[in-house]
Amino acid sequence: MLCVLYSAVCGAHCMSVTILNTDPSHVIRGSSLLLRAHIDHGPLETVATVTWERELETGAGAHGREVLASCSAGGPACPGNMTLDAQATTLTVNPFSGVNSIYSLTVSDQSGARTTAYCVVREYEPVHHVSVGINMSVSTLVCTEAWGTDPIFSWLHERAAVTTVLGRVSTDGKTLVVSHLPLCGHFTCMVSNKLGYSSATYNAAPCEAPESTRLTVVVVCLVLLLLVVMALATLLWWRRRIYRNRGECLHDLLDNM
C-alpha cells in the first residue's frame, strides 16, 4: 500500500505526489532510511519547491514539525541528504534514530499550489515474549508474540521440524493442530525476524516408544546378554585349559626327577 496522499484543490491541472515506501515502513535503529517519492504533473505545471519534513507520530513533539531538507527547482544545489529531478525526489536519513515519526513531502508549483504526501516510519522491533497456549479439546497449540516486527513462526516437536504426519500448521504459522494422538512430547514455537529469534515450549506427557521400538530394544538387550554369557564361558574354558596344562607339566616334571 502506498503512503497516504493528500492533494490540495487545484482544478483540472493538479500535481500529485506519491511516497513509494510502504506505509508504515519499519527501519532498524542506526541503519539508513531512504524515502523515495514520485511527482506527477502535467505540461502546464512546473515544480517550484520540494520540502521534506518530520513530526512525531504521537504529535507531542516539543518543536512540532521539523524541516529535514528543502530544494527549489532551478535554484542552488539540493542538500546532500536529498535529490530532486523532474519527477522524482529522495530523502536519506542516516542514521535512523528509532523514533516513530510521520514524514511528509510537500511540493509547490509555480502558482504556489501545494500538494503533500505522508508516510509513517517506525522502529523495527525485535521479537518479544513468545508464549504457547493449548486447547486440549481440539488438540491445538497456539503461539503468540508481543510486538516484534514481521515475526515468522515455525514449530518443532522433540527438536525436529513438524511434519504432516504429526499435524497441520496454519498459514500464518501461529497455530498447530495435532492430528497424531495422544498429545505427547515437547512442542516448541520458534519466532524470528531480522533481529533474531525467541522461543517457547509446551511440555506434554512423555511419548511412549512404539511397539516396534520396544521389541527392537528387547532383542538388542538379549543379544548383548548372550554375548556377555559367551564371553564369560570362553574365559572360564580358557582358564581351565591353562590350569590343566600347568598340572600336566608339573606331573611330567615329577616323573623325570
CATH of the domain at 161: 2.60.40.10
153 and 180 in a single domain? The answer is yes
Same-domain status, 118 and 9: yes
Asked if pLDDT for residue 8 goes beyond 50, the answer is no
Q: Are residues 13 and 110 in the same domain?
A: yes
Residue 116 near residue 55 (C-beta atoms within 8 A): no
- For residues 66 and 74, which has the higher predicted lDDT (pLDDT)? 66
Last residue in a domain, options 61, 94, 123: 123
pTM of the model: 0.72
Among 94, 123, 152, where does a domain finish?
123
Q: Is residue 59 domain-shared with residue 159, that is, in the same domain?
A: no
Q: Give per-residue pLDDT as tens, 97-109.
A: 999 999 999 999 9
Domain encompassing residue 179: 131-203
Domain check: are 93 and 140 in the same one? Answer: no
Domain boundary among 203, 229, 249: 203
Specify the range with the lowest mean pLDDT, choosing from 112-126, 138-152, 164-178, 198-212: 198-212
Asked if 191 and 219 sit in the same domain, the reply is no
Rounded CA separation 33/58 (Å): 20
Judgement on whether residues 27 and 96 belong to the same structural domain of the protein: yes
* Residue-wise pLDDT tens digits, 134-188: 999 999 999 999 999 999 999 999 999 999 999 999 999 999 999 988 899 999 9
